[in-house]
Structure formats: C-alpha cells, structure tokens
Amino acid sequence: MDEPEFAHRRIAVLLVEGFALMSFAAVTEPLRAANLLAGKKIYDVACFAAGQTARATQNSSSAASVAVRNLTDAAGAFDLVLVVAGGDPVGFHDAATFQWLRRQARHGRTLGGVSGGPAVLANAGVMENRRMTVHWEHAAALAERHPGLLLERTLYVVDRDRMTCAGGTAPLDMMHALIAEHRGPDFARSVSDWFMHTDVRPAGGPQRAGLAQRYGTNRPAVLAAIEAMENHIADPLPLADLAQAVGVSVRQLNRQFRAGLGQSAGSFYRNLRLDKSRELLRQTDLPILEIAIATGFSGAAHFATAFGKRFGRAPSRDRLERR
C-alpha cells in the first residue's frame, strides 16, 4: 500500500547554456534510478531552458545537447526547481529567467542550484538570508558581485526552501539526502548502491583537496602560511606578521617555501593574489580598479605592472581575450 508521503514529485531542471554534463547527470540519474527501483514514477523530471536547447560545456566528453522545453511552457506546480549552470554563471543575466525564478519563489517552491546554478539564483535575487554554496571556481566572483551572500565552501547546503550544490559529483550526495528525506534512508541507499556510490559524503564536506595535495608539500609552516594567505587576499599580511603567525622567522619561512615550492614566500603570495585577480577578470565584469583592490593591490597602475610581469599582458587585454 502506498503511503501519502510517497506521492510522486514534480521536478523542473533548468539548464543554463554551458552546463556540465557531469553535474546534469549527477542530478537526473539518481531520480531515474529511483523510479526504476520503485517500479513506478515517483519523480517526474522535466528539463527547461530559456532557449529551445541547452548545450553542454564544450569541455565535456561529448559536447552533447539536451532537448528541453522552453521556459514559457513550464506550467503547473513544481515541488523542486533545480538550476544547473556552468560557463560564466556570475555574468548570466536573462530577465525572463529571473522573473520565472522569482515567481516560483513567491509561490513557495523549493529552489536549488547546482555547480554555477547557485550564482544564477543569487543574480535572480532569491537567495537573500539563505545559506548557500557554489562551485569553488565561481565563489570569489560571486562574493564580489553579491557581498551579502551567506556563502559556504561545502559540497551542498540545504537551508529551508533552498538547496545549493557545488556540482561535479556532489549532486550525488545531495540527491541521496533528498531521496532519503522523501522515501527513507534504506531506499536512498539502494539508489546510491545502484551507482556504486557507497561513500556518501555529508553536506559539510570540503570541495577541494587539502593544501598538501594541491601544492605537493607537507611542511607545516608552509601549509599554515598558505592558509593564512588564502584568507587574506584583499588585505595581504606583511611577511613578518605571516611568519610570526606560523611560528618561524621570515628567513626560515622563505627557506621552507623555496625548498618546498621553489619560490620565496613573498613571490608565492603575490602570485596567489595575481591568479585570483585573473579569475575575477575572466569571470566577472568588475572594473579593473575594483579587482586590483579586491586582490590587495594599492591601485590600477601597481596592479597592471605586477600582472604584466606574471602573465605577459595587460589586465585589460587578458580580459578581452577571454570573450
């Protein structure tokens, strides 16, 4: 006998041009498997886009297209709306899409975003006073565009009627949680086992490998210094303060950075800030002066000189070549 709480749910997946196939599959395949294992349609999934088709990112394995319906055909009440986006989601602006999302929010629908999708939700103005996450690649640009966001660097966040997810394989974990809430943990486990996803991660898991894996060093002072640097991009710490914070002298800190990473602590810190500035140049339309200040440079001229030495071109030219 079917129980009332197991009634089927209508889910709209809104695809934004440039979405990643992995994120799309990690959202929709668990729902398809749940229907198969339940022996009936418990999740009615419909895909929409602002245009007639939504192409996957050209960096995907197949550069496939997914057939969708136009957003104007998205009638009726959905239990959940999930926005899946990639490319430049922070720069995405489509009035019709934003209006539709705001209408869903006014009607009390649960809204979610995957990979760059949370950035689209933020641009639509529906993430106010809600904790959220986004793929780490877009986090800095999104924080610059919307400084008031309650942004976390985790796999996924569920905050009342909002679900946001970092993308990649993280949607498998989020959909496990969604199915477990709807059908119970045993059924959710059977769905995860279907994909051999036996190590379901919690919402608060980290998005990226630890510093040791990312930079290939296990030196405690170096790792502690890098963590402090990453937390002080806009307001760089003097090397003396940095060394004191990790318990070594400036000379010792530079020696350990050269031994572990092949460059001084000061050079590493400057390059870290310049790499972040390049992300902002390519992912946002922020003025170059604002990017300079956001990455700890005293002005546009100082920034342009340092940027040119590292990348061999002016910031303005680098921005033009991304388009």
* Domains of the chain as residue ranges with CATH: 4-194 (3.40.50.880), 211-321 (1.10.10.60)
Query: How would you write 58-104 as a 3-class SS string?
Result: CCCCCCCEEECEEHHHCCCCCCEEEEEECCCHHHCCCHHHHHHHHHH
Q: In angstroms, rounded to a whole number, what is the distance separating the alpha carbons of residues 143 and 321?
A: 24
Is residue 225 within 8 A of residue 72, CB to CB? The reply is: no
The pLDDT assigned to 156 comes to 92
Residue 1: pLDDT band (50, 70, 90) is very low
Question: Beta strands 43-49 and 9-15: pairing type?
Answer: parallel
What is the Cα Rg of the chain in Å?
A: 22
Question: Which tokens hold the place of 83?
Answer: 């926005």
Is residue 254 within 8 A of residue 264, CB to CB? The reply is: yes
Is residue 165 within 8 A of residue 132, CB to CB? The reply is: no
Query: How would you write 118-176 as a 3-class SS string?
Result: HHHHHHHCCCCCCEEECCHHHHHHHHHHCCCCEEECECEEEECCEEEECCCCHHHHHHH
CA-nearest of 26, 16, 25 to 120 is 16
pLDDT higher than 60, residue 60: no
pLDDT tens digits, 12-32: 999 998 888 999 999 999 999
pLDDT tens digits, 273-314: 999 899 888 877 788 998 999 899 999 999 999 999 999 999
Is residue 113 within 8 A of residue 120, CB to CB? The reply is: yes
- Residue 282 burial by Cβ neighbours in a 10 Å radius (0-12, 13-18, 19+): middle
pLDDT tens digits, 80-108: 999 999 888 999 999 999 999 999 999 99
What does residue 311 show for φ and ψ, rounded to 5 degrees? Answer: -110, -5
What is the end-to-end Cα distance of the chain in Å, rounded?
Answer: 57
Per-residue burial over 140-159, b = 16 or more CB atoms within 10 Å of its CB, e = otherwise: bbbbbbbeebebbebbbbbe
pLDDT higher than 90, residue 203: no
Is residue 306 within 8 A of residue 315, CB to CB? The reply is: no
3-state secondary structure of 281: helix
pLDDT higher than 50, residue 200: yes
